[in-house]
Amino acid sequence: MSVIHRLCKVFSQSPAPARRATTPTRCKAPGRDALRQARGLLAVLAIALLGAHAAQAQDYPTRPVELIVPYAVGGGTDAVARAFGEAATKHFPQPLIMVNRPGAAGAIGHFEGAQAKPDGNKITMVTPEISLALLQGIGKARYQDFTFIARLNADPIALIVRAESPWKTLEEFLAHVKAHPGLVPVANSGQGATYHLAAIALEEKTGLRFNNIPYVGAGPEIIALLGSQVDAGFATTGEVGTWVKQGKLRLLGVMGDKRLKDFADVPTFRERNIDVELGTWRALAVPKSTPPAIVSTLKDVARKVSQDKGYQEFFSKQYLGLVYEDGDRFQPLLEGEFKFYSDIVAKLQLRK
């Protein structure tokens, strides 16, 4: 029975004296007057609901807002989120509470963010794994499930070893891998994540084979590398730049289109005739049905944070790539990236 018919049934019923139960009769179809009254009531209810949503958006935020980080503490995504949360205190009347949800190449955190109530009280730090996990059958969330606020960061992926290791160049390390096929332990940030994809892409381009070791995020991965649990790892300078400058780790090559300003002595893979170019990014997003007024508020905060000197200095000191790109401009680019990753996943047969 439709909502209108139920309402009409109520309007069309009139009080009747009590009597003994009889065989029930079929309810007659509502008359024109009852239908007119029902439609009027539904219109009033719809207007009231819209008014309530508008009032909620105008009052936003009324309580602390959760920022979901789909990875463990200590990685690049976590660092970007915490830097944003700290800088946002100057421009946002409520604190941002960091909520780390690591696991399944970011799929756990991304799914929680996508399924959150669209009221602005849960925002998500989205990464390329939103598409990679879906394409590999690991995750369920899609980038289309979100409205993007802004992209905050972008970095190329690098191959890293300990500074004390015997491999001073990319060629030396790859020669070692060639001599020990499938035995050299190389860390990544999770099965199916971008850093894992970087390892697989390098294997495919060179014909080599690593012993790929997944960790629950880049933070645990770098701890394992520093602790000599693995021989090498894939990450970005946002996670390892400080360790490199301190002489603990060494960059062998970056998967970017050009050398990094702060690590100008490190070659790109293409300079070494290995055609691999991969990176990562971090962007703020909310569930797609979030009211425009709330989206606008968060965009204003993101824009102001991107101009904050303390925030900019943090990125510089952490060797993170500082980017500010409004969500309306960034979101359409994700379709092309999805196609790019679709081709790679199919070519490398990564679908589970």
Tens of pLDDT, residues 253-270: 999 999 999 999 999 999
User: Any idea which of 71-85, 136-150, 284-298, 336-350 has the lowest mean pLDDT?
Assistant: 336-350
CA trace torsion 171, 174, 180, 181 (10° rounding): -150
pLDDT of residue 54 exceeding 60, the answer is no
The span from the CA of 280 to the CA of 80, in Å, is 12
Tens of pLDDT along 179-232? 999 999 999 999 999 999 999 999 999 999 999 999 999 999 999 999 999 999
Q: Minimal CA–CA distance to 325: which of 125, 122, 153? A: 153
Q: Minimal CA–CA distance to 222: which of 2, 72, 30, 347? A: 72
Task: Write down the pLDDT at residue 47.
Answer: 53
The model's confidence at residue 21, banded by pLDDT at 50, 70 and 90, is very low
Question: C-alpha distances in angstroms, 125 versus 107, 270, 291?
Answer: 12, 30, 19
Enumerate the β-bridge partners of residue 234.
159
Q: Which amino acid is at 181?
A: P
CA trace torsion 184, 282, 290, 141 (10° rounding): -20
pLDDT of residue 50 exceeding 80, the answer is no
Tens of pLDDT along 168-179? 999 999 999 999
**Mean pLDDT across the chain:** 89
Task: Write down the pLDDT at residue 244.
Answer: 98
Q: Count of CB atoms within 10 A of residue 36's CB?
A: 13
Task: Write down the pLDDT at residue 56.
Answer: 56
User: Any idea which of 21-25, 28-32, 36-40, 75-79 has the lowest mean pLDDT?
Assistant: 21-25
Reported as half-sphere exposure (CB side, CA atoms, 13 A), residue 60 has a value of 23
Task: Write down the pLDDT at residue 3.
Answer: 40
pLDDT of residue 150 exceeding 60, the answer is yes
CA trace torsion 79, 81, 84, 89 (10° rounding): -110
The model's confidence at residue 37, banded by pLDDT at 50, 70 and 90, is low
The whole-number average pLDDT for the span 91-97 is: 97
E strands along the chain, which residues?
65-69, 96-100, 122-126, 146-156, 158-162, 185-188, 211-214, 232-235, 249-254, 279-287, 322-326
Enumerate the β-bridge partners of residue 125.
284
pLDDT of residue 10 exceeding 80, the answer is no
Considering only residues 91 and 27, tell me which one the structure prediction assigns the higher pLDDT.
Answer: 91
Q: Give me the percent of the chain exceeding a pLDDT of 70.
A: 84
Task: Write down the pLDDT at residue 204.
Answer: 95
Q: Count of CB atoms within 10 A of residue 1's CB?
A: 8
H-helix or E-strand spanning residue 347: helix 333-347
Enumerate the β-bridge partners of residue 26.
none
The model's confidence at residue 352, banded by pLDDT at 50, 70 and 90, is confident
Task: Write down the pLDDT at residue 183.
Answer: 98
The span from the CA of 149 to the CA of 28, in Å, is 52
pLDDT of residue 347 exceeding 90, the answer is no
Q: Is the dihedral of CA 168, 171, 174, 180 positive or negative?
A: negative
Specify the length of the chain in residues. Answer: 352
Task: Write down the pLDDT at residue 348.
Answer: 85
Task: Write down the pLDDT at residue 27.
Answer: 46
Instruction: Provide CB contacts within 8 A for 60, sequence distance 6+.
Output: 119, 120, 293, 294, 297
Tokens 């205190």, residue located: 89
Please give the full DSSP string across 155-223, using - where no structure is assigned: EE-EEEEETTSS--SHHHHHHHHHHSTTTSEEEESSTTSHHHHHHHHHHHHH----EEEE-SSHHHHHH
Domains and CATH numbers, the chain: 65-155+280-347 (3.40.190.150), 158-272 (3.40.190.10)
Q: What is the pTM of this model?
A: 0.82
The whole-number average pLDDT for the span 110-114 is: 98
pLDDT of residue 12 exceeding 50, the answer is no
